[in-house]
């Protein structure tokens, strides 16, 4: 049976899903010295990779796939990079299109089921370091897309070992969850970021005719469902939001995964519902699934005072990947 209920120590002050989710994003994190590399794509666009190099010999590279509107500045990304640096393992952040601080060149952008760009990065890394294994860690949206990639590719996957954290494996249920209660705060914050990038493209003489909406419609899009229906779906070849969510939800791909993979969820994740929790029959034998009562969304605080928390997540990822 794959569906293991797990526990880690949680301080009294962190037994709240919003504390778990929000606190890590407010605390100041140390800066990292990263080397940027740009991959040109066949369609004329680009992907930016941020490298945390190491002089130590290593048998692997850790690829970090960030969440919606994240990047190498995201606290959870920085914590994993720091762990890799401490252990002498090179790490690289794959930025989804438009997430590296510069809007991408095309009208299209990225979405929860984009796996071709992953394949481009993984193929490049195999060419660059043919003797190294690729260990991929996907957070939230990046985790959902990684689950889809692993299920699509099966034995052809270029990833040798994977971890998926706080992934919205049922997109429609998660979009609905973010329309109610305190969770609307997260939705509002992320939608504003997406609106800014979309507005920039609508103002571009080169791109505005390729955009599927008018500037006047943009600020009417208050929910992920609305944004995905009028922007994400048409830009990426889906019939509508329902088609997009149905084809890109990661849950349906899990039973085909052949790569050793750890999936971590928290029951109190304010981005999720029970719909994301797989049943044993939906998981392949290659998947280790762990469900924790606390952790919020990509939080998993396990100790320390609120101004200097300690985290469970990196130790668990490190153990599974033998970092």
Q: Report the 10 Å Cβ neighbour count for 26.
A: 7
- 59 is an active site residue: no
CA distance 229 to 190: 16
CA distances for 112 relative to 42, 159, 160, 172, 211, angstroms: 21, 18, 21, 11, 19
Q: Which of 74, 140, 157, 249 is catalytic?
A: 140
* Cβ proximity of 21 and 297 under 8 Å: yes
**How far apart, in whole angstroms, are the C-alpha atoms of residue 273 and residue 113?**
19
Q: Mapping DSSP to helix (H, G, I), strand (E, B) and coil, where does residue 111 land?
A: coil
| Contact criterion met (CB below 8 Å) for 292 and 267 | yes
- Known catalytic residue: 66? no
Q: Give the burial class of 7: count Cβ atoms within 10 A of its Cβ; 0-12 exposed, 13-18 middle, 19 or more buried.
A: exposed
Of the CA atoms within 13 Å of residue 286, those in its CB half-sphere come to 19
What's the rounded Cα separation, in Å, for the pair 140 and 25? 15
Active site (annotated) includes residue 297: yes
**Residues that are catalytic:** 140, 269, 297
């Amino acid at each position: 049976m794959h569906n293991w209920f797990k526990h880690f120590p949680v301080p009294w002050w962190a037994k709240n899903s919003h504390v778990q989710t929000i606190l890590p994003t407010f605390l100041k994190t140390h800066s990292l010295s990263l080397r940027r590399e740009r991959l040109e794509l066949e369609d004329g666009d680009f992907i930016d990779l941020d490298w945390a190099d190491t002089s130590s010999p290593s048998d692997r590279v850790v690829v970090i796939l960030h969440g919606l509107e994240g990047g190498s500045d995201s606290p959870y990304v920085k914590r994993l990079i720091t762990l890799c640096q401490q252990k002498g393992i090179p790490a690289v952040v794959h930025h989804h299109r438009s997430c590296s601080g510069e809007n991408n060149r095309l009208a299209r952008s990225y979405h929860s089921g984009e796996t071709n760009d992953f394949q481009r990065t993984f193929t490049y890394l195999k060419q660059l370091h043919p003797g190294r294994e690729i260990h991929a860690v996907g957070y939230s949206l990046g985790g959902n897309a990684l689950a889809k990639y692993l299920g699509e590719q099966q034995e052809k996957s270029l990833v040798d070992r994977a971890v998926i954290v706080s992934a919205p494996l049922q997109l429609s249920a998660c979009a609905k969850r973010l329309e109610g209660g305190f969770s609307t705060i997260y939705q509002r914050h992320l939608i504003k970021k997406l609106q800014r990038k979309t507005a920039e493209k609508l103002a571009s003489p080169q791109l505005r005719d390729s955009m599927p909406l008018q500037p006047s419609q943009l600020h009417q899009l208050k929910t992920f469902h609305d944004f995905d229906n009028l922007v994400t779906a048409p830009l990426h070849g889906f019939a509508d939001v329902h088609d997009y969510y149905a084809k890109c939800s990661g849950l349906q791909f899990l039973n085909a995964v052949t790569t050793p993979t750890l999936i971590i969820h928290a029951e109190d994740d304010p981005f999720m519902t029970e719909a994301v929790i797989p049943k044993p029959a939906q998981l392949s034998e290659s998947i280790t699934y762990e469900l924790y009562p606390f952790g919020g969304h990509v939080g998993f605080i396990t100790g320390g005072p609120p101004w200097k928390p300690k985290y469970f997540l990196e130790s668990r990822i490190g153990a599974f990947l033998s970092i």
